[in-house]
Amino acid sequence: MDVRTTTKGRALTVRLRGELDHYAAREAILAVERALDAALPSSLTMDFGDVTFMDSSGIAVAMRAMRRMAALGGTSALVNVPPQAKRVFDAAGILCAAKEETT
Amino acid sequence: MKVKPNNYIALEFLSRSANEGFARTAVAAFAAQLDPTLEELGDIKTAVSEAVTNAIVHAYPDTLGKISLRASIFDGILLEIVVRDKGRGIADIARARQPLYTTGGEERSGMGFTIMESFMDSLVVRSEPGKGTVVTMKRKIARRGTKL
């Protein structure tokens, strides 16, 4: 799992890449926490565009970040979510924006 | 009478988190002979990942143990996946199956069983404290172009 972060003003974008399972979750959670601590952003965008597989571990990663943003009084969004990961978020009732088909 | 499967695989692996990817990929490769859609394949991989992760996190919390996984095909269309451990077991299965209930700490969402339930046609959990847990999941894979 590879986590890349970019900050523009008070907007933080976190890009996740690879397989997001329990094996990868701890590292992903720590990377997102570190980025949130450093940026203290008013908005967080989590980009799942390069996530090739995700199970409920991804829910834990996203929920933790979203709770943290709520505590900071900011907003958060999950974007570019591929179909397989979207089915997992949908099953948990978590709103997310689907990845656009590029065919 | 016990019905014989058309085909099966049986795996055994150590309850290391690094094996989650191996387990779901192996089952997906086995299920490929049913010609599943990408969505069906994704559902199967996700459900296997949840069952195996549960065994790794909950069955053997402070130790390493054996997890066995068997995937079988019945009637040419029914995929059955059995994940078995000899770990500490689940005292209250109904509670464990509730959405958002977890004893797994902040890395877990408590959604594992909910996802297995919604992605598979059936989910049966049998467990005995101190003896282990057996999770049995079934999913019909309709061959494309054929009607069930």
Taking only the tens place, the pLDDT of each residue in B76-107 is: 999 999 999 999 999 999 999 988 888 887 78
Mean pLDDT of the region A59-64? 95
**pLDDT grade for A102, boundaries at 50, 70 and 90:** low
B115:A25 CB<8 A: no
A interface test, pick of B46, B56, B98, B137 with most A CB neighbours within 10 Å: B46
The confidence score (pLDDT) of residue B110 equals: 87
The CA distance from B106 to the nearest CA of chain A, in Å, is: 7
Total count of domains within chain A? 1
Q: Does residue A75 belong to any structural domain of this protein? A: yes
Shortest distance, CA B122 to any CA of chain A (angstroms)? 16
DSSP state of A9: T
Q: Is residue A23 part of a domain?
A: yes
Q: How many CB atoms lie within 10 A of CB A49?
A: 14
Q: Pick from B38, B100, B107 the residue to mutate for testing the A interface (most A CBs within 10 Å).
A: B107
Better-predicted residue by pLDDT, B114 or B143 = B114
pLDDT at position B109 is 85
Predicted local distance difference test score (pLDDT) of residue B3: 86
Class of domain B7-140: alpha beta
| Interval B46-60 mean pLDDT | 96
Report ipTM for this prediction. Answer: 0.91
